[in-house]
Amino acid sequence: MKAYWLAIGTLLTAAPAMAQDGGSSDPMVTGGFTGVYVGAAGGYDVQSNDRSSRILFDRNLDGNFNDSVLTGGGANAFGPGFCGGGATGATGPQNGSVGCRRDRDAGAYYARVGWDQQMGRIVVGVVGEFGRSDINDSVTAFSSTPASYTMYRDIDWEAGIRARAGYTPNDSTLFYGTFGPGYARINSEFSSTNTANTFTGRGDRDQFGIQAGGGIEQRIGDHFSVGLEYLYHQYQDNDYRVRVTGPAGTPFTNAANGGTVSGTDFRRSDDKFRWYSLRATAAFRF
């Protein structure tokens, strides 16, 4: 990992030097950035801080997730609290144990194909990508039973098509911004240490979103280029629900406490899946 960040720092330091004069810094480059290319991108993905995430409840199944789940005595069944990660046991943050593992930041890898058109010093184009990220994101609720309830999600695959626009001072170094729609398959799962109730998940896995960022690309000869790119990903992910059913009289099926014998629905409070990518790129230009 230290070598990875060192390589990134070296590229950032070297780019201004490569772009300092008005002519090409590489006499082998003759075509600028016009043309079709194929390549790959790979790097490390990091999620935003989601410590305030929690699970929301709809006890009477009216579609509003603003209810409290109560015990038979009228107390808050989820008094131990919530955490923005996966459960490591049945006890929660207020029971003398952290109770959670951190969400995983991880690597990502994509194939890409694109086209650029250079007009003077301005470059415009489009790039399409398909690949996956190995990050995952969880939120856990802890009940006073004690029991844990974890909603988990990760990325099966992601596709995107983005516009690119940038500036080249010398026909071999390109500084650019990029923006466009994304489409991802988000895997959602649920687990609990509660064995008295039954849990059934439902919801759409495929979601639209946006991708936005920028980068530096350096041509090496007529047919190759390498670069460094930052990309932000955001997907609306509010379809997944978990229906809790089971024996009458449990906190989730207690009609006497404002609920319904038909059960209780769960959903996440954070309805957007967001992460940030820092990646290296490589391309073959035709």
Contact 32, 23 (CB under 8 A): no
Place 194 in a pLDDT band, splitting at 50, 70 and 90: very high
| Per-residue pLDDT at 154 | 94
Place 49 in a pLDDT band, splitting at 50, 70 and 90: low
Place 97 in a pLDDT band, splitting at 50, 70 and 90: low
Tell me how far apart the alpha carbons of residues 175 and 19 are, in angstroms, rounded to a whole number: 10
| Per-residue pLDDT at 19 | 44
Kindly state the average pLDDT of the residues 173-193: 96
Tell me how far apart the alpha carbons of residues 272 and 46 are, in angstroms, rounded to a whole number: 15
Q: Could you read off the pLDDT of 141-172 as tens digits, one per residue?
A: 999 889 999 999 999 999 999 999 999 999 99
Strands (DSSP E) contained in the chain are 35-47, 55-58, 81-83, 86-87, 100-101, 106-119, 122-133, 136-143, 147-167, 173-192, 198-202, 206-220, 224-236, 241-245, 264-268, 272-285
Contact 159, 183 (CB under 8 A): yes
| Per-residue pLDDT at 95 | 57
| Per-residue pLDDT at 3 | 41
Q: What is the pTM of this model?
A: 0.84
| Per-residue pLDDT at 100 | 82
Closest CA to 162 of 270, 47, 277: 277
Place 94 in a pLDDT band, splitting at 50, 70 and 90: low
Q: Could you read off the pLDDT of 258-277 as tens digits, one per residue?
A: 788 999 999 999 989 999 99
Specify the CATH architecture of the domain 2-285. Beta Barrel (2.40)
Place 22 in a pLDDT band, splitting at 50, 70 and 90: very low
| Per-residue pLDDT at 93 | 73
Share of the chain above pLDDT 90, in %: 67
Q: Could you read off the pLDDT of 201-233 as tens digits, one per residue?
A: 999 889 999 999 999 999 998 899 999 999 999
Share of the chain above pLDDT 70, in %: 87
Place 48 in a pLDDT band, splitting at 50, 70 and 90: confident
Place 10 in a pLDDT band, splitting at 50, 70 and 90: very low
Kindly state the average pLDDT of the residues 108-112: 97
Q: Mark 228-246 as b/e (b = at least 16 C-beta within 10 Å).
A: bbebebebebbebbbbbbb
In this model, does residue 256 exceed pLDDT 60? yes
| Per-residue pLDDT at 195 | 93
In this model, does residue 176 exceed pLDDT 80? yes
In this model, does residue 180 exceed pLDDT 80? yes
| Per-residue pLDDT at 112 | 98
